[in-house]
Structure formats: C-alpha cells, structure tokens
A = this chain, B = another copy of it.
Amino acid sequence: MEETKILEESLREIMEQHLAENQYAKIRTMLQDMNYVDIENLLADLQPDQTLRIFRMLPKETAAEVFTEMDSDMQQYIIESITDLEVISIMDELYMDDTVDFLEEMPANVVKRVLRNTDEATRKTINQLLRYPEDSAGSLMTTEFVDLKKEMTAKEALKHIRATGVDKETINTCYVISPQRKLEGVVSIRTLILSQPDVTMEELMDTNVKYIRTLDDQETSVYLFQKYDLLSMPVVDGEDRLVGIITIDDIMDVIEQENTEDFHKMAAITPSEEPYLKTGVFTLAKNRVMWLLVLMISATFTGFIIRKFEGALSQTVALTAYIPMLMGTAGNAGAQSSTMIIRSLALNELEFSDLLKVIWKELRVGITTAGLLSVFNLVRVMIFDQVSFGVALTVCLSLFCIVCLAKVVGGMLPILAEKVHLDPVLMASPIITTILDALSLLIYFWFATTVIGVA
C-alpha cells in the first residue's frame, strides 16, 4: 500500500505539471491507460477546477464511470459547473442505480436540473426508483438488464444481445420474461454461447430462479447472493413482473457497509456511513456520547451496590482491590460469548431454536474456563497478595460463578434480542459488560458477607 501511495503522489505531480503547461495531448495519453477508479483517485487529490478541466477531457463513457466513483461534494461541483449538454451526455451513460445513488445525495436544485435534462421515460423510472425505501432491494437495483423471450432460439437471443447489450449493466445473465413481463427463467451467457444455435430459451432456461421483491430488505439479497454464489439477481414487483436486477458489486458494498455498522454498534457507536477522516468532530461526538451517557448511568447501579456494602468494605479493605479484576474478567468472558453468538446469528448459522443448545454449550465452556482461571487465581492470590484464606476463597469462588454466569448471559442475550426483533448487536460488549458489572458485585459481596463471612 505504501508503494501505491508514492505512485499516486508522483502521478498527481506529473498531471499538475501538464495542466500548468496546457499539455492536453499528454494528459489524454496518460488518462487513456488508466482505470476509471485510478482516475477518480487522482482527481480527488487535485484542486476542484483542475478536476473539472480533466473531467471534461474524458471520453463520455469513462467520464460517467469516473463520475460514479466520486463523492457527492465533487459530483455536485461537477454538475453545477458543466453545461446542460454535458449533463445530458453523462446521464445518458450512467446506469440507473448509479443515477439514483447520486441524486439521493443532491440538493433539490441539482436534482431538478438533472431531471430537466433527461427524457420523459428516464425521468419516470428515476422517480419510481427514488421512492423505494433506503434499505430495500428496489433501491439497490438497476433497470438495464437483458430480457429475452421464451420462443427465441440461442442464435436469435445472441442477435438480440448484440443489438441491445451495449446499454446493459451486465449481459452475463439474461432474463426470460413473458409478454406480461413476468419472470420465467434465467439463461447465462455461457449457456447461450455453448449451446446449439437453434435451441429455444424455453429449453435452455433455468426456471428455478432465486429472485427478490422490490420491497424486501437488502440483507435478504445479501443472504441469497452468498448462499447461492450469484453474480446478479432479478427483482420483481408485487405482480411478479421483472423490474430490475441487483449486481454483485452493489452487494459487496452492502456487505462492507453492514459489517462496518456491526463493528460500530458493537462498540456502542451510532453507525455512520462517512469515512472517519471525513466525519466532523461534532458528528463523531454526537454518535458516541448518547451511548456513553446511557452506559454511565447504568454503571451507577454498581455504585449503589458498593455503597450498600460500604460497611463490609471498610471492615475488610482488601476486598476492594479485587473488584476491578472480577468486573474486568466478567466483562471479557461475557463479551467473548456474545460476540461469537452475534456473528453466528449474522451469518445465519444460529437461530432461536438453538437457544438451549447455546446455553448448555456456554455453561460447559464457562465451567472449563472458570475452573482454570479460579485455580490459577487462588494460587496467585495466596502466594503474592498475603490476604487471609477467607478473602482468597471469596475471590476465587466469586470468579468461578461470575465467569460461568457471564458465558451464559453473553450467549443468551443476543438470541433473545433477535427473538423480540431487536438487533442482536445491541447485546455486544458494552451492554453485556455493564450488566455483568452489577451482577459480579452482587455475587462477590454475597460470598463475602453471607457464605464465607469475611466481612
């Protein structure tokens, strides 16, 4: 990655040099050999007016690809700086899903200007796509797919693809539809090419199609893509008519975004889609402070418990020294279990009916690890800490019970959360830790005062 950085740096310098000297031929040659992603990376490092100058030199197909990669500030700047004719030419090249993604981030005046420069039919499609809820399959799909008819032969189908394919997002999978546009089957380009020219689509097509509905959650499509190793998936409306397709590149983005969301939620942060360096201090603070406040207030319960046992503590001050270790171990043990379960739920490896299996497994894992930790701790406390045997026994018995409890609670809560339609990720480390802090103290003081009676 370091080398890439240096390479990008020198590319940028050469480009700035060429721009300063108006060496347009040289710039064109440079751009010709570059991937659109790399061009966008380069432009992102230049001044806006330099970006604009280069952008206008791109062939229109590349321009559209580069435009799709840009962040919305730059997209807005470009659209506000170019002529109506240029807007038309870019919109013409953009796939529908990218158009919609872009328009969703634009202010009303830019949206208006763009829509004014598209034809009636496109405008209608855009408006329809913009109406799908944010995380729905409909909002992910594009409308440029290859549709075939059942009666077509392989030869006719290929001819049809040659005539229309240039505007399609993918031709790797083609869709067979009825005259009423109902989805009847799929044919891969591979099947088409490898088959005899006079075989019909009806014979070739696979009718066992994995599809999704426009209003289904995007997570369902991620699940189906992963389960069936798909490259694209048809989207049908309420009347089973094929209205669009979702392609794997968009699914990869959703996976990345949802994993990031899960990581953030597991650390008690309100998730945001912006990259870290582009997020303002105020937004970062806002996304974090709510949860910190909630957890801080919950943590005061532990304060109550300690205050309730103040007498015991002042009698045997040695007990205080073990509180952080006990609470820390409880939190860590619980977080291990809850994280494993949360991830398994996300990967659909677990469901509610496995609850008892999970509890039983965590209990046994708990007893094994708790046993080991307690024995180790007993030896350590007796040798190094010079406390009474009663205190040592209290610490170790508490540790044993706390770790077992932490494992079971950590394993159980995410599954219960999913059952009542809460996000299991809420039951990640911060909440589990806070709950276990209080429980640990109660167990500890119960052993100290009631069972062993050291305080």
Contact = CB atoms under 8 A, between A and B. Distances in A.
A317 interface: yes
Contacts of A268: 332, 335-336
B320 A269 contact: no
Copies of this chain, how many?
2
Contacts of A307: 318, 321
Nearest to A161: B193
Interface residues of A, number: 115
A85 interface: no
A5 interface: yes
A106 interface: no
A452 interface: no
Interface in A227-247: 227-229, 231
A193 B208 contact: no
Contact of A296 (B231, B288, B328): B328
A310 B263 CA distance: 39
Contacts of A451: none
A-side interface mostly: helix
A115 B225 CA distance: 33
A454 interface: no
B303 A310 contact: no
Interface stretch (A10-18, A70-78, A135-143, A350-358): A350-358
Interface stretch (A47-55, A117-125, A177-185, A248-256): A248-256
A284 to B, nearest CB: 5
Interface string A345-364: 00111110010011001001
Interface string A258-288: 0110111011110000011100011011001
Given A260-B343, A303-B322, A373 B276 contact: no
A373 B1 contact: no
A130 interface: no
A268 B429 CA distance: 11
Interface string A3-31: 00100000000000000000000000000
Given A267-B336, A296-B373, 15 more contacts: A162-B194, A171-B193, A189-B189, A260-B347, A277-B350, A289-B372, A295-B332, A300-B380, A303-B325, A303-B385, A306-B320, A306-B323, A307-B321, A310-B317, A335-B429
